[in-house]
């Protein structure tokens, strides 16, 4: 995976309409820290 600075951002990424019921409310059950990231600065 390229570094975060080099990744292309698409409009369908990082969409959060409400928090998840588990953990910190941000990560899905299938979250993988090695490939997934969430840009918390962007609000959809």
Q: Are 14 and 44 in contact (CB under 8 A)?
A: yes
pLDDT for residue 24 = 80
pLDDT for residue 26 = 80
Closest CA to 19 of 5, 40, 34: 40
Closest CA to 3 of 37, 40, 43, 29: 37
- pLDDT (tens, 9 = 90+) of the chain, 44 residues, equals 667 677 777 888 777 788 888 878 788 888 888 877 777 666 54
Q: Are 38 and 13 in contact (CB under 8 A)?
A: no
pLDDT for residue 7 = 76
pTM above 0.85, yes or no: no
CA pseudo-torsion sign 33, 30, 8, 16: negative
pLDDT for residue 42 = 60
């Amino acid at each position: 995976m390229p570094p975060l600075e080099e990744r292309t951002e698409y409009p369908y990424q990082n969409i959060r309409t409400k928090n998840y019921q588990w953990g910190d409310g941000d990560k899905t059950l299938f979250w993988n820290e090695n490939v997934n990231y969430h840009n918390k600065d962007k609000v959809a």
